[in-house]
Structure 1
Amino acid sequence: MNPDRLEGQKTAAFEVCEVLGDAPDALFIPVGNAGNITAYWKGFVEATRFGLAHRRPKMYGYQAEGAAPIVRGSPVAEPETVATAIRVGNPASWKGAVAARDESGGAIDAVSDAEILDAYSFVARCEGVFCEPASAAAIAGLRRRARDGGLRDMRRVVCVLTGNGMKDPDRARSLGGAIAEVEATPDAVRRALRS
Structure 2
Amino acid sequence: MGSTDGIVILAGSGYAAEVASICAALGLPVRVIAGTSSALTAATALGLEAISWTGDIAALPPGPVAITGGDGAERHTLRVRLADAGRQTTTLIHPEATVGLAVEFGIGCIVSPGARITSNVVVGPGTLINTGAVLSHDDRVGRDVTISPSVTICGGVTINDEAWIAAGATILPGISIGTGSIVGAGAVVTKDVPAGITVAGVPAKPR
The answer to whether TM tops 0.5 is: no
Taking structure 2 as the reference length, what is the TM-score of the superposition? 0.30
Q: Which has the higher contact order (CA 8 A, sep 6+)?
A: 1
Comparing both structures, which one devotes a greater share of its residues to helix?
A: 1
TM-score by length of 1: 0.31
* Higher Cα radius of gyration: 1
